[in-house]
Structure 1
Amino acid sequence: MSSAARILLERLFPAGLEDLRARVEEIHLPVGQTVFRRGDPCRNYLLVVQGSVRVQVLAANGREITLYRVCDGQSCVITTSCLISVESYPAEGVAEVETTALVVPQPVFDQALGDSAEFRRFVFANQGQRLGDLIQRVEDVVFGRIDVRLARLLMTLSEQGVKSIAITHQQLASELGSAREVISRQLKQFAGRGWVGIGRGAIEVKAPAALDELARQSG
């Protein structure tokens, strides 16, 4: 087991809970590995040690929406909810990069909630924070202006002076919870103003100041 995983495990399962700690497994997920699918039964608590798991929903019409990401030291809010309610997964999770995670079987999860104050605080604190993030995400998708949200995303992706962003219109649409056609139309408007350049599988940021000004607007 990696040192990072061991440190996290010892914090959540302190002295006296070695028997529970021994039943937790470390797994390694390659890029693109499906962690869970919609309709799968939920049998384990997932805790990412290092990496990123994208949680997304695929609608019947093929439209894909990214709900959130589970990154270093975080757990999946949907997994936690499904474990507590004994429900199947309503979404799917995919490893975006090589990811190391801890898998806590449901019997261990249930017992640890009662026996470990550290584990209990971690689960509920993470759940509360991630639920808040998810609600904000829904508000953005439903009520936010697409031009403002696209500008914000482009500015985020072009941080650290990166001007050429390797991303497709479909990927942008998934990130923003929109349709590809809507994103393509908005990008053409940005290009018409000289703010971006549109290439095959890439967007070039030409006027970061203009995009940043739009990104700072409410909406």
Structure 2
Amino acid sequence: MGWVEDAPDLATLDAITARRLNALVPMEVPAGTVLFSPGDAVKGYVIVLQGRVSVSLTGASGREMLLYAVTPGQSCIQSTLGLMGGEDYTAEAITDEDSRVVLLPKLLFLQLLDDSPSFRTLVFAAFAGRMQTMMHLLEKIAFQRVECRLAAHLLDRATPSGQLTGTHQELATAVGSAREVISRRLEAWSRRGWVKTTRGKVEIIDPVALKSIADEAM
């Protein structure tokens, strides 16, 4: 038994592939660790066993946008594209919380793609799912108003009690906007009694009002 058997999303792997993967040692990665940056060569395929990794893009103006988050069972499209196409990373990946990850070296990744149908199916299925997520992101950025994206993000990321930790800049990065825009939206919602903001935190007071905004047609 090894870490593969503890990962439900890898249950379809054949025994030989599972044995080869179990030879790799998982790494404990503290929150705030930079896993890769723009211009870095892709060294391997990352499997997240526990935790959450955010992958974001920074434009020439310095504005950041969250592309996607990698949680257990999900893939990093930047790594897959780099391994298969030879391109360097164009985004930055940072652990949002203490995480446990496994790095499949490039050579092993390519060998398993050739040798293991079950591994190949898993990788391509995860890649297709991530591509669909990216298409949804592009659709939102292109057609959905900022306040709709912000309301949806707050509702999605808040705790059951309505609490959300994050600076205005972090919220702006998550919804693909500017910090000043997010600050104005939150201030307006606070005056209406929909949210309460303190330093680095947002509390949702009226989730029904936010949901009505999040559900608005694009």
TM-score, normalized by the shorter chain, greater than 0.5: yes
Q: Is the 8 A contact 1:53 1:95 kept in 2?
A: yes
Shift of 1:12: 6.5
| 1:44 paired residue number | 44
Task: Flag the 1:17–1:157 CA change in 2: closer, same or farther, 3 A.
Answer: closer
CA distance in 1, matches of 2:179, 2:17: 50
| 2:197 paired residue number | 198
Q: Is the 8 A contact 1:45 1:106 kept in 2?
A: yes
| Identity across matched positions, percent | 34
Q: Which whole-Å deviations, capped at 9, do the CAs of 1:167-186 have from their partners, x for residues lacking one?
A: 21111101101000111111
Q: Which whole-Å deviations, capped at 9, do the CAs of 1:62-81 have from their partners, x for residues lacking one?
A: 21111101101222111001
Q: Where do 5+ consecutive residues of structure 1 fail to align? A: none
Q: Which whole-Å deviations, capped at 9, do the CAs of 1:9-59 have from their partners, x for residues lacking one?
A: 984653345774365342221111111111000121111111111101122
- Aligned-residue RMSD, C-alpha: 2.2
Q: Which amino acid counterpart does residue 61 of structure 2 have in structure 1?
A: N
CA distance in 2, matches of 1:218, 1:3: 47
Task: Flag the 1:112–1:164 CA change in 2: closer, same or farther, 3 A.
Answer: closer
Q: Which amino acid counterpart does residue 188 of structure 1 have in structure 2?
A: E
1:188 and 2:187 are equivalent in the alignment:
yes
SS in 2 for 1:62: coil
TM norm structure 2: 0.90
| 2:165 paired residue number | 166
Q: Where do 5+ consecutive residues of structure 2 fail to align? A: none
Q: How many equivalent residue pairs?
A: 217
Shift of 1:163: 3.1
Most deviating of 99-108 and 187-196: 187-196
Q: Is the 8 A contact 1:12 1:116 kept in 2?
A: no
TM norm structure 1: 0.90
Most deviating of 20-29 and 101-110: 20-29
